Structure 1
Amino acid sequence: MMASRTGSLPLLEVENLRVRLNTSRGPADAVRGVSFSLNRGETLGLIGESGCGKSVTAMALMGLLPDSAVISGSIRLGGRELVGLPEPDYCQLRGNRISMIFQEPMTALNPMHTIGRQVAEPLRRHKGLAAAEARREAIALLDRVGLPDAAGRASAYPHQFSGGQRQRVTIAMALACHPDLLIADEPTTALDGTIQRQILDLIADLVAERGMSMILISHDLGVIAENVQRMMVMYGGSVVENGLTAVVFAEMGHPYTQGLFRARPHLGAPKGTRLQTIAGTVPELADLPAGCVFAERCAIAEERCRNTLPPPVMVAAGHTVRCLRTDLSMANRAGARNP
C-alpha cells in the first residue's frame, strides 16, 4: 500500500478487503485480501477479465453490496471507517463525497424522470438547494459535460438520448456535488470508438479540473495506459500485480499481466492474424484454488503454485507481484512486449 507523498492522510485507505457472496453454487470469495491507498488527486486503474472482482470491489467501496454479502477488512474515506457504516450514514456519502459512473447509463437513469430532475436531485438532497437553483445548476452541469442545448433538453427523458449522451448525463449526476472520489466502472463499454474517446477525455478533464481522485475500472489496457497514474491487475478476486502504470507496462511481472498484453490487438498486423488468447477459463468464484488463482492457466506453474497462496513480492519500488516464480516470469516478459 502506497503512503501519501505529502505525509497527509490518504483520501482512501483499503486494507485486507474481503467480500463473500452467496451464489447458486454456495459461498464465493469475490474479493480476497485487496489492499491499496489513494491520495487526493491521484488516479488508479483496476484491470482484469470479467469476473475477476473489479466491480465487486467498487460496489464494496460504495456500500452497494447485496444484503447477504459478508464484508470484512477496512475501508476508510478521509479517516472514517465505512465497513459496517449504517445505511443512512452511507446515503449521506453516496453522490456527495463518493460518486460512481456505471457501465450502462440506461439502467443507471430512471426512465420515469427527466434528466434535469435527476441531475438536480443530489444537489437538493446533499446541498440543500431550492428546486429552481438546483435546476439552474443541473443545466450548467449538463452544458459542461457537452450535452447539446442543455437548457432545452433538461426536460427530456433518458430514452430520448443516444448512448453517449446518456453517459454524459450520468457523469453530470456523479459530479454534481463535487465528490472527493469518483469511481468509473467501464464507463464506455457500450459506446463506439469515437464516442468512447470523447467520454474518457471528458472524465479526465473534469477529474483534473476539480482535483478529484478517481478509480477507473476497465478490461482495456489502452484505456488504463492513457488515463491513470497507478494500476492494479486483478484475477480471481486478488490483486496479482500493482504499481505505477508506466512501470507495470514496462515490467509485466505476473504471467497473467503478460497474457493480457499478448492478447491485445496490434496496429499493422497482417489481415487474418488471430489474436492470442490466455489458455483455459476464469475459475468460478465458488471453486477458487487454495494456491495461486492463475495456476491452472499458467505455463510456468509448478505443483507448489497450486497449493501455496503467493505473497506479494516487491520487484521494484512500489511495484508488487503475487507469483512464486517471479524471476522466471519476468524473464519471459519480452514475449509479451513483442508477440
Structure 2
Amino acid sequence: MNRPTPLLQVQNLAITLPTRRGPARAVRALDFTLERGQTLGLIGESGSGKSLTALALMGLLPEGAQVSGSIRLQGQELVGLGDAQLCQLRGNRIAMVFQEPMTALNPVHSIGRQVAEPLRLHQGLSAAQARGQAIALLERVGIARAASRFDAYPHQFSGGQRQRITIAMALACGPDLLVADEPTTALDVTLQKQVLELIGELVAERGMALLLISHDLAVIGQTVARTLVMYGGTVVEQGATRDIFDRLAHPYTQGLFAARPRLGQGRMPGLRLPTITGTVPELADLPPGCPFAGRCPHTLDACHAALPEAVHLSPGHLARCIRLNAI
C-alpha cells in the first residue's frame, strides 16, 4: 500500500554560501518531513542554520547561495524552481512570519493594503472583497477597530500589534505551511505568550503545518510536538519534543539546557551559570566531522574525522554522536 505524500519533505538539503574566504557550508545533510496539522521546531544558537533553512523553503536565499538536495511540497520539487513559480507559492501555499515586524511591513503602505495584497494577487479578489476579508483577518488576530484602522500605517501600531498584522498577512490565503522565524523575539513576555497562543489557535483552526524557529527552549517546549536541534548547519538531535527534553541525548542539547537561567535560582557568591566552552565556528571554519567537536567535553580524535551517522535512540528520536553510550 502506497503511503500518502508528505506535505513537506526535505532530503539531504545542503546550502553553501560564498564568502571572502571561499565557500561556506551553512547547512548540510538536513532531512525532515512535516505533515499537515503537525508542528515542528528548529532550535539552536545564532548561526546554526535555522533561518537559512526557512529562507530555502521560501526560495529567498541570498544571491550566490548554492542549494543541493530536495525540498518537496506535496511532491512538487522547489529546489531549482523559477522565480515566477516560487512567487505563486509564496504567500499562497507557504507563508512566513518574520522576526522583526517593522522590517517585514512596508512603511509607506497602509496595513490594510498589505494584508489585502495576497488576496488580490493569489485569489483574484476585487478591492472590495479583499478589503472585507482583510478586515476579518485583522479582527481575528486581535486588532481592535480593524475597519477604522484599515488605512493606518505600521508606525501607528505597537510592536505586538505589528506582529499580529504580519500574522494576518501570512494567513490571508490559507497556506498549507506556516514558517515562523523567531516571531516573538522583539516582544515582551506577556506579548510573547499572546502571539504564540494566537499562532497555535490559528494552526489548529486551519489545519496548517507549522515550522517554528526559535532559540528559546521554553517557547519550543510549549508550542511544538517535534523538534530539530541544529548546530553548525547540521541537525544533531531530533525527535518528539518531550523525548528530547526528557533525555537530552546529544552533548550540545545538554549544553543548551544547562545554560538556561532558572527562575528562583537567585544570586549566590561564586555561583555562575554554566556555559558551553568556546564559540560557534565561522561557517568557513566548520570541521569536516561533528560540528560540535572541540567545544564538546567528550571530543575524541574520531569526532573530527567524519559527520557522525544518526543513531536511533527510540522510535523517531535520533542523535548524531559517536559517544552516546559513554555520555
Shorter-chain TM range is over 0.9
Task: Name the counterpart of 2:13.
Answer: 17
**Distance across 2 between alignment mates of 1:177 and 1:106:** 22
SS of structure 2 residue aligned to 1:152:
coil
Query: Aligned runs of 1:305-324 on 2, under 5 Å?
Result: 305-324=303-322
Question: Among residues 178, 181, 187, which one is paired with 2:177 in the alignment?
Answer: 181
Q: Deviations over 1:92-149 (max 9, x none)?
A: 0000000000000000000010000000000000000000110111011000000111
SS of structure 2 residue aligned to 1:265:
coil
**Distance across 2 between alignment mates of 1:177 and 1:154:** 18
Letter in 1 for 2:308: P
TM-superposed CA distance for 1:315, in Å, is 1.1
SS of structure 1 residue aligned to 2:326:
helix
Query: Does structure 1 residue 167 correspond to structure 2 residue 163?
Result: yes
- Count how many residue pairs are aligned between Structure 1 and Structure 2: 324
**Distance across 1 between alignment mates of 2:116 and 2:148:** 15
**Distance across 2 between alignment mates of 1:124 and 1:308:** 50
Letter in 2 for 1:91: C
Query: Aligned runs of 1:106-255 on 2, under 5 Å?
Result: 106-255=102-251
TM-superposed CA distance for 1:23, in Å, is 1.8
TM-superposed CA distance for 1:8, in Å, is 1.8
TM-superposed CA distance for 1:274, in Å, is 3.2
Task: Name the counterpart of 1:334.
Answer: none
TM-score, structure 1 as length reference: 0.94
Question: Among residues 286, 291, 303, which one is paired with 1:288 in the alignment?
Answer: 286
Query: Does structure 1 residue 75 correspond to structure 2 residue 75?
Result: no
TM-superposed CA distance for 1:190, in Å, is 0.7
Task: Name the counterpart of 1:275.
Answer: 273
Letter in 1 for 2:177: L
**Distance across 2 between alignment mates of 1:320 and 1:143:** 42
Unaligned runs of 5+ in 2: none
Query: Aligned runs of 1:86-125 on 2, under 5 Å?
Result: 86-125=82-121
TM-superposed CA distance for 1:9, in Å, is 1.4
Unaligned runs of 5+ in 1: 1-5, 330-339
TM-superposed CA distance for 1:7, in Å, is 3.6
TM-superposed CA distance for 1:283, in Å, is 0.6
- Cα RMSD of the aligned pairs, angstroms, is 1.0
Letter in 2 for 1:291: G
**Distance across 1 between alignment mates of 2:136 and 2:61:** 32
**Distance across 1 between alignment mates of 2:141 and 2:326:** 47
**Distance across 2 between alignment mates of 1:243 and 1:27:** 31
SS of structure 2 residue aligned to 1:297:
coil
Letter in 1 for 2:144: P
Query: Aligned runs of 1:24-63 on 2, under 5 Å?
Result: 24-63=20-59
User: Which 4+ stretches in 1 moved above 6 angstroms?
Assistant: none
Question: Among residues 256, 260, 263, which one is paired with 1:264 in the alignment?
Answer: 260
TM-superposed CA distance for 1:81, in Å, is 0.5
